[in-house]
């Protein structure tokens, strides 16, 4: 029996091929920043800061705080310079990436059923984007109006995937023991294995292969049956 369920976003609740999405995201961000900062140095600084925020977790500081510390160091510009630019980018340019994604009808049914069954629900996406970007992707998924109990973002999390501590942190915010949580995601290394390490039940969203033979693997329709069996 579980009391809470964590949902990955990209590739799970939202159809989004990150191998296609991320290059487009970086290209548009780099082009937007180019009039304000040398583009050849921007992307290198950005990726360095993101990697540092992921690889050097600090339970005393958020992902956003660690990212900005590294990014300011790499670019030699302060947050007062960068934050307004990022805010404009996410308001004016980021929405254009919606065409690279597609909503999944089964996702809304899955989330609504979980809530109707009295489970606490969380969007457990990798918190390497600010809240504004994650909220937009939830809108693209047709889930913007769902009252999730927790949504992981750069601003409110201290760990990222694939650290097992990320899953403990989410469970803590939900006020549910990890052993009473289920995790639904499409990435074995980011979603499934680290969640299992802290005692969570897991469902691996995947197409083809032998997933149809396994109770805890398959498409979102099968995930709904798995979740009903656990509650």
Span 185-203, pLDDT tens digits? 999 999 999 999 999 999 9
Q: Which of 55-59, 67-71, 129-133 has the lowest mean pLDDT?
A: 55-59
Q: Which of 5-37 are b and which e, b meaning 16 or more Cβ less than 10 Å from the residue's Cβ? A: bbbbbbbbbbebeeeebeeebeeebeebbeeeb
In this model, does residue 212 exceed pLDDT 70?
no
**Predicted pLDDT of residue 207:** 78
* CATH class of the domain at 4-17+101-230: alpha beta
Q: How confident is the model at residue 149 (pLDDT cuts 50, 70, 90)?
A: very high
In this model, does residue 213 exceed pLDDT 80?
no
In this model, does residue 214 exceed pLDDT 80?
no
CA distances from 93 to 99, 127, 167 (A): 12, 20, 31
In this model, does residue 208 exceed pLDDT 80?
no
**Predicted pLDDT of residue 101:** 98
In this model, does residue 210 exceed pLDDT 70?
no
Q: Supply the mean pLDDT for the chain.
A: 96
In this model, does residue 211 exceed pLDDT 90?
no
pTM equals: 0.95
Q: Tally the C-alpha atoms within 13 A of residue 118's C-alpha that lie toward its C-beta.
A: 5
């Amino acid at each position: 029996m579980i009391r809470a369920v964590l949902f990955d976003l990209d590739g799970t609740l939202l159809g989004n091929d990150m191998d296609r999405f991320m290059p487009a995201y970086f290209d548009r961000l780099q082009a937007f920043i180019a009039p304000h900062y040398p583009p050849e140095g921007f992307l290198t600084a950005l990726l360095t800061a993101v990697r540092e925020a992921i690889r050097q977790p600090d339970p005393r500081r958020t992902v956003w705080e660690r990212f900005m510390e590294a990014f300011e160091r790499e670019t030699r510009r302060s947050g007062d310079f960068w934050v307004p630019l990022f805010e404009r980018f996410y308001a004016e340019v980021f929405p254009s990436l919606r065409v690279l994604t597609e909503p999944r009808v089964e996702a809304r049914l899955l989330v609504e059923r979980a809530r109707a069954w009295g489970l606490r629900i969380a969007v457990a996406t990798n918190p390497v984007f600010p809240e504004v970007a994650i909220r937009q992707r939830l809108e693209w998924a047709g889930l913007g109006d769902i009252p999730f109990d927790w949504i992981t973002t750069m601003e409110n999390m201290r760990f990222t995937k694939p650290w097992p501590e990320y899953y403990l942190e989410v469970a803590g915010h939900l006020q549910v023991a990890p052993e009473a949580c289920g995790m639904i995601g499409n990435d074995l290394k980011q979603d499934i294995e680290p969640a299992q390490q802290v005692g969570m039940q897991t469902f691996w969203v995947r197409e083809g292969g032998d997933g149809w033979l396994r109770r805890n693997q398959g498409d979102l329709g099968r995930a709904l049956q798995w979740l009903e069996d656990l509650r």
